[in-house]
Amino acid sequence: MPPSESQAGLLDVFVVTPQGVLFQGKAQSVILPGENGVFEVLINHKPLIGRLVCGELFVDERPIPLKRGVVKVMLNRVVAIVEGISH
């Protein structure tokens, strides 16, 4: 039986706004602008729920400018719910 993609070292990443989905896909790394500073999520990260501030979220090396929001990390899944993109 082949290993699942999570076992292969990828995160499931979802970035959503009230208007729709900004990003949905797989990534090795997600860097987020947290309320207490910038932090990175990698495979097998401890579960957390945190607040996000206005800044750039990076999925691998792809930047996504965002307004404030929240993030949930659990079981190799990253879900960021944000107010919208910043300009």
Q: Tell me, what's the pLDDT at 4?
A: 47
Provide the sign of the torsion angle of the four alpha carbons 83, 27, 78, 24, taken in this order: positive
Domain 11-82 class in CATH: mainly beta
Confidence band (pLDDT; 50, 70, 90) for 1?
Answer: very low
For residue range 10-55, what is the model confidence (pLDDT) as tens digits?
999 999 999 999 999 999 999 999 999 999 999 999 999 999 999 9
Q: What is the DSSP letter of 6?
A: T
Residue-range domain boundaries for the chain: 11-82
Whole-model pTM? 0.87
Residues in the chain: 87
Give the number of other Cβ atoms within 10 Å of residue 61's Cβ: 9
Check if the beta carbon of residue 15 is closer than 8 Å to that of residue 80: yes
Confidence band (pLDDT; 50, 70, 90) for 86?
Answer: confident
